[in-house]
């Protein structure tokens, strides 16, 4: 039987429980706020410093830039980290571009291998290692131990051909691309990857080739690209007349530039007539 005194005790007990719960919630919120403030104050700024010159790396990629603006000039080259001599320190290999029909420098163009000295500096060992790839228009690089001799080998993609440098294990390399059947002659290989796709314990090679291009069809390729974009934008612009006119006006300046390229490279008259028809079809309408 619950008496009046018992009810009074239960009432005051409930009030104390509510107050205790409120106090615990307040303390918890205060603790969370303090932790959040501490995290904000303990943030560590991350800064990077360019130490290329101090480390002894002097390699500079040559863009092979010309007034004709060859499409090949728009492509950069690759770089790879590898421990080629298995001393536990990562070394650097830089891929260099090469001469073209319109760009012929008076000095040889070489890729570069830098040995890690372990003290924050590097030494150029390109000539000693035999990986200069002189005058080869390089693009990308893939590193892998394809023959399982514990030394990483180097595959260099490029315009016209590719190179496979086998690591001899004594700090030198030998080009075995033709022997291995991976020279990719006559193609423009851009990137590559080593994978063991059949799980036989040996690395296989995947090479990706780019477009069929040469300096002779440089302007023709630009025109065809322009034409594809024009058709794409025309299809989109049919849904909005004002947008279509704006796009056509923007393409007008680009088209005139491509016309100059066509004339400069002296392409046959049929191509120029075809370009003129493209211009007349897509020119902005008069208001």
Compute the distance between CA of residue 213 and CA of residue 221 in angstroms, rounded to an integer: 8
Residue 154: strand pairing partners:
143, 165
Number of helices (H) and strands (E) in the chain: give both, helices first: 7, 10
CB 249, CB 233: distance < 8 Å: no
The predicted-structure confidence for 121-133, as pLDDT tens digits, reads as follows 999 999 999 999 9
pLDDT per position as a tens digit, 190-210:
999 999 999 999 999 999 999
How do beta strands 153-158 and 189-195 pair?
A: unpaired
- Report pLDDT digits (tens) over 63-75: 888 877 787 888 8
Q: What residues contact residue 236 under an 8 Å CB cut-off, 6+ apart?
A: 243, 244, 247
- Closest among 217, 223, 226 to 272, alpha carbons compared: 223
**Of 77, 133, 66, the residue nearest 101 (C-alpha):** 66
The C-alpha angle 219, 60, 72, rounded to 5 degrees, equals: 15
Tell me: the pLDDT tens digits for 209-256?
998 887 777 665 555 555 566 666 666 655 555 555 555 566 666 666
pTM for the predicted model, two decimal places: 0.66
Residue 189 dihedral angles phi and psi, to the nearest 5°: -85, 135
Q: How many CB atoms lie within 10 A of CB 126?
A: 20
Express each pLDDT in 263-283 by its tens digit: 554 444 444 444 444 443 333
């Amino acid at each position: 039987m619950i008496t009046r005194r018992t009810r009074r005790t239960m009432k005051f007990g409930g009030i104390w429980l509510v107050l205790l719960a409120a106090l615990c919630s307040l303390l918890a919120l205060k603790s969370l706020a303090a932790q959040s403030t501490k995290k904000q104050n303990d943030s560590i700024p991350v800064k990077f410093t360019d130490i290329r010159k101090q480390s002894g790396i002097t390699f500079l990629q040559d863009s092979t830039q010309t007034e004709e603006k060859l499409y090949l000039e728009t492509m950069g080259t690759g770089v790879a980290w590898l421990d080629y001599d298995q001393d536990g320190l990562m070394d650097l290999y830089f891929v260099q571009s090469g001469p073209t029909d319109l760009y012929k420098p008076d000095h040889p163009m070489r890729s570069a291998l830098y040995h890690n000295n372990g003290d924050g500096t590097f030494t150029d060992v390109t000539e000693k290692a035999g990986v200069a790839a002189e005058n080869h228009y390089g693009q990308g690089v893939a590193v892998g131990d394809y023959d399982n001799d514990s030394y990483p080998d180097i595959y260099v993609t490029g315009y016209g051909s590719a190179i496979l440098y086998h690591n001899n294990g004594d700090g030198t390399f030998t080009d075995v691309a033709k022997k291995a059947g991976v020279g990719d002659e006559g193609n423009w290989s851009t990137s590559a990857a080593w994978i063991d796709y059949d799980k036989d314990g040996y690395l296989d090679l995947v090479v990706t080739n780019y477009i069929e291009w040469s300096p002779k069809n440089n302007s023709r390729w630009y025109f065809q690209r322009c034409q594809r974009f024009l058709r794409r934008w025309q299809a989109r612009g049919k849904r909005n007349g004002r947008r279509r006119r704006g796009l056509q006006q923007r393409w007008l300046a680009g088209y005139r530039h491509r016309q100059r390229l066509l004339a400069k490279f002296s392409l046959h008259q049929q191509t120029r007539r075809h370009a003129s028809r493209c211009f007349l079809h897509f020119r902005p309408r008069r208001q």
